Structure 1
Amino acid sequence: MQHLINDIDEADFDVTRGGQVEIIGWLYQYYNTEPKEVAFKKRKYAETDIPAVTQLFTPDWIVKYMVENSLGRYWINVLHARNDSRSEVEIAQAYHWQYYMPKSQQNEQVSLKIIEAQKELTEVKLEDITLVDAAMGSGHVLVYAFDVFLQLYESEGYSKRDATENIIQYNLYGFDIDTRAFQLSYFALSMKAREYNRRFLTLGLSPNVFDIPEYTDLSVQDFEDLITTDQQSSDITRLLNAFHDGNSYGSLMHFTDPIDFLEIESIIDTKPGEHQLSFESIELEEKKHKLKEIITVSKLLCRKYTVGVMNPPYMGSGKMNDVLSKYVKRHFTAGKADLFAAFMERLRMFVSANGYYAMITQHAWMFLSSFEKLRQSLTQDTLINMAHLGTRAFEEIGGEVVQSTAFVLKKQNLTEYVGTYERLIDFNSQDRKEAAYLAAVRDQTVDYLYRTNQANFKKIPGSPIAYWVSERLVAAFQKYSGISESVTPKAGIVTGNDSKFIKQWTEVNYHEIERAPEDNTFPKYVPLAKGGSFRKWYGNNSYILALKKMYTPDEVTNSVRRGDSASYFKEAISWSYVTSGSPSFREYKGFVFGTAAPELVCEDRKIRFALLGILNSKVANYILSLINPTINLPSGYVTLMPSIINFSTNKYVESSISIARRDWNNFEDSWDFKVHPLLSHIADDNLSIWYYSVVLTNRGAKNVPIFRLWGVK
């Protein structure tokens, strides 16, 4: 409490200046710090851990970006449908929406579709426009949306007092699984309403924000004396089954088949007789009250909203508890890899036709293959705008932990729509990203603002949201097939016990290592490609595998995966699976491959050299960073590279391999080491007796293992 009083500027609590919802949000986020740290150590998160581990307060400018470019954009559409002659820029400026990004110029066909869709908006009233935040947290989005709605009502001639009542009753909705977050949102909206209507707290109005209930003590048998139809029984059963795990599902909860809420509500409205009061009847009334709460929330979960805005919770599928994991896999197959992706699907379901939805999420969905189906489903809608934030979008998260993107989509299929994209990843702080975005709004010729037709994304393998790609590169993907036609990707060996089966080559008798064994043989030790540091063309040859032992049943465990033995020792291209920098590709002969070194078998020397030339080029580095901007590089992404084969470069590739081999062999950790390069130019008569006796004869190999030489007996 002392820190709360002394460390926070008193002005931050001044409601006349705004920002009070921010102080509430930050305080609550840090309130969850300790339980979050405890939960992060767990293999899987329990239901009670979910609020703490998924709580991340959204920066104020990103909230304004999302609300202005969704709710604000929808209202501009309404005004244009009413024949308002002002441009969208002029309207946004009139409302002081400084984060509003105007749309780019569209072709005639797209423009006609937009105009046609806007005709339906001529009769829209402000009371008809609804905004939902499906994971509202402490209410930051809802409070700013309140401010925007207030502007709209005032522009339509409403007083602040009347506008406040309408906003609370008709316009704003929110859900959360965290009771404390719900209480903060309820408080923040109530205080916001009280600011503009001093009688608000006496009006009997409540904000439409809800803590998703969870009741494990209800069953359909509790209401069997009141149920009169099979449909009532079926609907109540479905509701109770869903809300049995309400704190796990949250607003992901939805019902694929319609529920007759009127029929169920008739059960709740049944009153006990005057002379029928008893402990049983009192208990039944309590259960009816719980069922009423479930019905109220369910009806709102089943309705459509004009606009959806949210910062969804992040949680990888591996951390989900069994209940949540099964539900997500069953109902959100495209977004099952992460909770934020499941909410991308869910928010889309919330929004009505021609409405907008805006989110800030991790940017992984834009590129990774695990989200490809999600990207395909989102192409049914139109990506209007994206502020690609990258790292450090959240002030309190340093380093490269979370890479984010904020975006706005319209629930309308405009295939040829040219979206606007602000590439802010090179600005290394939250404040710099905000300043850069505002600069792009004012001057749309900045070099980090891109405009592209979203149809181009489908022309690139995997359909990544690669908005910055040039037309020439898109054309290359269309013209050339992937290199998968020239190579055969193979899975690497999993030993199940690396310390038992994998050794440095200096740890064993090198005479027992077969460097070029015949196919279908299993020598005692064979060379193993195991990734390693950045090194092109040749090298990182330091490990061997106890292959014979890998095929001895008594030596291996059930977790072993030997891969395709027919691909052992073939000529191949490999690289390090994990790299924080640029990938580096190398040629291998006579090796087997581990999981840290993906393998592309290519026995045609001419093609292999041509592919190595492509893969080790700056062009390939750019393309691979485009289709897979992560530190992991599986073979599936490499085979998507367009096969722009140029055999004329093979002589340079061969020379590069030769130079890299010579460089690798110049040092003692190579099994082909002969002599240190500093000694290679010394005349023989000046070499020491020790050099002749120990190194060249290998007599001291037991004492100096780093000088073992291949082929020396």
Structure 2
Amino acid sequence: MFTPNYHDGVIQHLINDIDEADFDVTRGGQVEIIGWLYQYYNTEPHDYAVNITGGAVTKNEIPAATQLFTTDWVVRYMVDNSLGKYWLERHPNSDLKSNLDYLLPGEIQIVDSSENLEDMRFIDNAMGSGHILVYAFDVFMKMYAEQGYSSRDAALSIVQNNLYGLEIDKRAYQLAYFALMMKARQYNRRALQPEKVKLNVHVFEDTDTVSPEFLDALSGEYADDIKQIIELFNNARELGSIIKFDKTFNWTKLRENVEDIHTDALDIFGMNQSKKIVLEVLTIAEIMSTKYDVAVTNPPYLNKFDPDMKKYVKKNYADYSGDLFSVFIFNNINLVKIGGYAGYMTPFVWMFIKTYEKLRNYLVANKEISSLIQMEYSAFEEATVPINTFVFKNVPNDGNGTYIKLSAFKGGMNVQRDKVLEAIANPDIDYLYRTNQANFKKIPGSPIAYWATKKVFKSFERSTLDEHFKGKEGLGTGNNRVFLKYWFELILPNEGWYPYQKGGAYRKWYGNNNYYVDWRNDGRNMKAMPKSNIRNLPFQYSIGITWSAISSGKPSFRYTQTKYFFDSKGPMMFHVHEESYFFAIGYLNSKVTEYFLTFLSPTLDYRLGQIQKLPFIDEEVVSRIELQRILTLVSQTLDTSKKEWNQYEESIDFYKHPLLTHIADDNLSIWYYSVVLTNLGAKNVPIFRLWGVK
């Protein structure tokens, strides 16, 4: 607590620095303020949880680690293109379209439906502080107005019939409940009367506190079903909306069975509390097992599972277990009815990397990507990962999706928003794409390569790089500080120490030859390390093409030309002919490969699997004259790169600084040779005796 001062400090800043409109309930600004404040006060526990080194995020840390407030325009995009589009498909003459500012260009397929507005269900099953539900409320209000409802009746109907929300964090749930009640109260003054309205938003509770006496009191036809639900919810505050039901239940009968359990006034066995918990759990379970017209959420991003969570996810969602958000992607598109929509905001890695390949294959084959916005790599500062937002339709693919690529536009979420609005106003803009997702299956791994051209898709009908080169990941030493040394830390030659490729900084053609590895006694010491991983020994100490698997920029490939050991961060590719190496590295360092990798590996993570999927034509296909021209250019480039690398002292082949290149050797001072160049590890260095020193 602090003593308020209205002329200086927090209150003064609140009054002077925040626009009054942000507090105006008719404009919705207050919802963002609630969300941002909640996230602000979660900053410390959030930073602690996400920065745990090598450890799992525990059950109590999950809310702090995964609670991210969803930017307003992203909420509007997701709801406009799911709930809004769902309504327009069934009401083609609706004026709602003029109020959907973030509805992307695309065909509206008319659906013949007699569904009652009061029966439409919208859920956010990781609702946080309720931002998505609050905006959905506003869209529903416009629908109800079109149908002739009064605003008073519409507000109560929306919160009681249309909106559903689930959350594992009690504080976030309370804020969401508060925000929705305030929205209802805005239109109906009686909304705050408990007997008038009951919201369908809930927080998960564990059932491990249900007393044994209560379980013993369960009897009859539905007792086993109730016990099964109670067991499923034992760890509900951790699992939340990913709890999976293996059968259908008669929820009315289950609830009646629990209601019939007798409790007395003394309640020494905690029967009343157990009964209350179980009835709430049955309500949540019924919400989870219901089908919805629309599901929209910003799911948790988490892959540091504790043992219980890891076991559950592997057992129930094995193909989608790379991260919690991928489980939600799969879960929610199957939570909606056929023809329904699911909207998300998640890291965009699911679109490309191998971890999520089974998820992509499932989605591309069975669902329709209605629209997608890929944001600039670091636009969403609140997350440590690049983000996208997208909407699926629960139907097999039957047309072109709409995609917006914002990768080129730096400057944060406001810049991203403005570019989206530009694309909506002008669909012919060059970063809006319309493509059929069936094309994605033409590329190995089915990346969501929506910006690829017909020529690109056709390129993948030919052979791929792995059909011509053997790619291998190398050693995991178990302790690089022990087994790796810079060449200048050793007296060379040193028996048992070998040149080593470890990736390194961006550099094409030749270089990054800085390390030696300890392989004395055939690596006996390394093999004894608990965390070592000795891979592909037959390929170690060979000539090949290497690159940096992890990069802070564009890919860069190098030809070793001499024999090297290598590790997983500097994988290598091998062939039997030197000509093939020259041809391949010319291709790999070209703009063509750089372009292909924008959708095979856009996350700056150039793993072996992604590189080997590159389309490739063998040099035998190229005319002899053209091949000779390519090989000559590559050879000249390699020589130039090698000479440039050797101009600096960090190269083992360093001879003379470039500034001294044009000075005759006999004019160079004895000081230069004896002090600057005398290095027992370097080659080709003339050794002079200093005065009086042998």
CA–CA distance in structure 1, aligned partners of residues 246 and 129 of structure 2: 29
2:97 aligns with one of 92, 95, 98: 92
- The alpha-carbon deviation at position 310 of structure 1 amounts to 0.8
- The alpha-carbon deviation at position 320 of structure 1 amounts to 2.0
Q: How does 1:444-463 map to 2 (within 5 A)?
A: 444-463=427-446
CA–CA distance in structure 2, aligned partners of residues 463 and 127 of structure 1: 40
CA–CA distance in structure 2, aligned partners of residues 134 and 685 of structure 1: 79
Amino acid at match of 1:419: G
**Change over 3 Å in CA distance of 1:53–1:382 after alignment to 2:** same
CA–CA distance in structure 2, aligned partners of residues 614 and 166 of structure 1: 62
- The alpha-carbon deviation at position 508 of structure 1 amounts to 2.0
CA–CA distance in structure 2, aligned partners of residues 555 and 55 of structure 1: 42
CA–CA distance in structure 2, aligned partners of residues 27 and 7 of structure 1: 15
**Structure 1 residue aligned with 2:622:** none
**Structure 1 residue aligned with 2:582:** 609
**Structure 2 residue aligned with 1:586:** 558
CA–CA distance in structure 2, aligned partners of residues 674 and 393 of structure 1: 46
- The alpha-carbon deviation at position 227 of structure 1 amounts to 0.9
Report if the CA contact (8 A) 2:653-2:682 is conserved. no
**Structure 1 residue aligned with 2:68:** 56
Report if the CA contact (8 A) 1:235-1:260 is conserved. no
Bigger mean CA offset, 667-676 vs 233-242: 667-676
**Change over 3 Å in CA distance of 1:21–1:125 after alignment to 2:** same
Amino acid at match of 2:326: A
Deviations 1:124-161 (A, max 9, x none): 11012110001111111111111111111110111111
Report if the CA contact (8 A) 1:220-1:233 is conserved. no
**Structure 2 residue aligned with 1:237:** 227
1:387 aligns with one of 373, 398, 418: 373
1:71 aligns with one of 72, 79, 83: 83
CA–CA distance in structure 1, aligned partners of residues 587 and 335 of structure 2: 46
CA–CA distance in structure 2, aligned partners of residues 382 and 436 of structure 1: 24
2:192 aligns with one of 191, 201, 218: 201
Query: SS at 2:83's partner residue?
Result: helix
CA–CA distance in structure 1, aligned partners of residues 161 and 12 of structure 2: 40
- The alpha-carbon deviation at position 575 of structure 1 amounts to 0.9
Q: How does 1:162-561 map to 2 (within 5 A)?
A: 162-202=153-193, 203-218=195-210, 222-229=214-221, 232-270=222-260, 272=262, 277=264, 279-280=266-267, 283-315=270-302, 317=303, 319-379=304-364, 380-394=366-380, 397=382, 401-415=384-398, 417-427=399-409, 428-478=411-461, 480-512=462-494, 524-549=496-521, 551-552=523-524, 556-561=528-533
Q: How does 1:83-122 map to 2 (within 5 A)?
A: 84=93, 91-93=96-98, 96-104=99-107, 114=109, 118-119=111-112, 121=113
Query: SS at 1:213's partner residue?
Result: coil
Report if the CA contact (8 A) 1:572-1:603 is conserved. no
Amino acid at match of 1:196: Y
CA–CA distance in structure 1, aligned partners of residues 668 and 30 of structure 2: 80
Report if the CA contact (8 A) 1:672-1:710 is conserved. no
Q: TM-score, normalised by structure 2?
A: 0.90
CA–CA distance in structure 1, aligned partners of residues 252 and 152 of structure 2: 33
**Change over 3 Å in CA distance of 1:155–1:679 after alignment to 2:** closer
**Structure 2 residue aligned with 1:665:** 646
Report if the CA contact (8 A) 2:168-2:240 is conserved. yes
**Change over 3 Å in CA distance of 1:220–1:354 after alignment to 2:** farther
Report if the CA contact (8 A) 1:386-1:421 is conserved. yes
**Change over 3 Å in CA distance of 1:444–1:489 after alignment to 2:** same
**Change over 3 Å in CA distance of 1:18–1:585 after alignment to 2:** closer
Deviations 1:77-103 (A, max 9, x none): 1114xxx4x7xxx6511xx22111231
**Change over 3 Å in CA distance of 1:144–1:545 after alignment to 2:** same
Query: SS at 2:85's partner residue?
Result: helix
CA–CA distance in structure 2, aligned partners of residues 44 and 97 of structure 1: 41
Matched, 1:13 2:23: yes
CA–CA distance in structure 2, aligned partners of residues 219 and 451 of structure 1: 57
**Change over 3 Å in CA distance of 1:537–1:238 after alignment to 2:** same
Report if the CA contact (8 A) 2:347-2:385 is conserved. yes
- The alpha-carbon deviation at position 219 of structure 1 amounts to 5.8
CA–CA distance in structure 2, aligned partners of residues 135 and 689 of structure 1: 73
Q: TM-score, normalised by structure 1?
A: 0.88
Report if the CA contact (8 A) 1:104-1:451 is conserved. no
CA–CA distance in structure 2, aligned partners of residues 173 and 454 of structure 1: 31
CA–CA distance in structure 2, aligned partners of residues 294 and 253 of structure 1: 12
Bigger mean CA offset, 41-50 vs 148-157: 41-50
Report if the CA contact (8 A) 1:24-1:184 is conserved. yes
Deviations 1:332-389 (A, max 9, x none): 2233111211111121121111001111111111111111111112121111111222
Deviations 1:458-509 (A, max 9, x none): 111211111111111111112x211101111122112212222211222222
**Structure 2 residue aligned with 1:144:** 135
- The alpha-carbon deviation at position 277 of structure 1 amounts to 3.7
CA–CA distance in structure 1, aligned partners of residues 379 and 571 of structure 2: 33
Q: Tell me the number of residue pairs that the alignment of Structure 1 and Structure 2 aligns.
A: 664
**Change over 3 Å in CA distance of 1:709–1:510 after alignment to 2:** farther
Ranges in structure 2 where 5+ consecutive residues have no aligned partner:
620-626, 689-694
CA–CA distance in structure 1, aligned partners of residues 422 and 526 of structure 2: 67
Report if the CA contact (8 A) 2:168-2:203 is conserved. yes
**Change over 3 Å in CA distance of 1:493–1:271 after alignment to 2:** closer
Report if the CA contact (8 A) 1:384-1:408 is conserved. yes
Amino acid at match of 1:463: S
**Structure 2 residue aligned with 1:520:** none
Amino acid at match of 2:606: L
CA–CA distance in structure 2, aligned partners of residues 181 and 164 of structure 1: 22
Query: SS at 1:293's partner residue?
Result: helix
CA–CA distance in structure 2, aligned partners of residues 658 and 66 of structure 1: 53
- The alpha-carbon deviation at position 271 of structure 1 amounts to 5.3
Query: SS at 1:52's partner residue?
Result: helix
Query: SS at 2:189's partner residue?
Result: coil
**Change over 3 Å in CA distance of 1:227–1:548 after alignment to 2:** same
**Identity %, equivalent residues:** 38
CA–CA distance in structure 2, aligned partners of residues 425 and 330 of structure 1: 36
Query: SS at 1:224's partner residue?
Result: helix
CA–CA distance in structure 2, aligned partners of residues 4 and 73 of structure 1: 42
- The alpha-carbon deviation at position 266 of structure 1 amounts to 3.3
CA–CA distance in structure 1, aligned partners of residues 96 and 107 of structure 2: 16
CA–CA distance in structure 2, aligned partners of residues 542 and 386 of structure 1: 43
Report if the CA contact (8 A) 2:404-2:431 is conserved. yes
Matched, 1:596 2:569: yes
Report if the CA contact (8 A) 1:671-1:710 is conserved. no
Report if the CA contact (8 A) 2:403-2:450 is conserved. yes
Report if the CA contact (8 A) 1:310-1:360 is conserved. yes
Deviations 1:169-189 (A, max 9, x none): 210000001111111111111
**Structure 2 residue aligned with 1:27:** 37
Query: SS at 1:552's partner residue?
Result: helix
**Change over 3 Å in CA distance of 1:566–1:128 after alignment to 2:** same
Report if the CA contact (8 A) 2:397-2:437 is conserved. no
CA–CA distance in structure 2, aligned partners of residues 347 and 420 of structure 1: 20
Amino acid at match of 2:231: N
Amino acid at match of 2:86: Y
Ranges in structure 1 where 5+ consecutive residues have no aligned partner:
106-113, 513-522
Amino acid at match of 1:505: W
**Change over 3 Å in CA distance of 1:543–1:75 after alignment to 2:** same
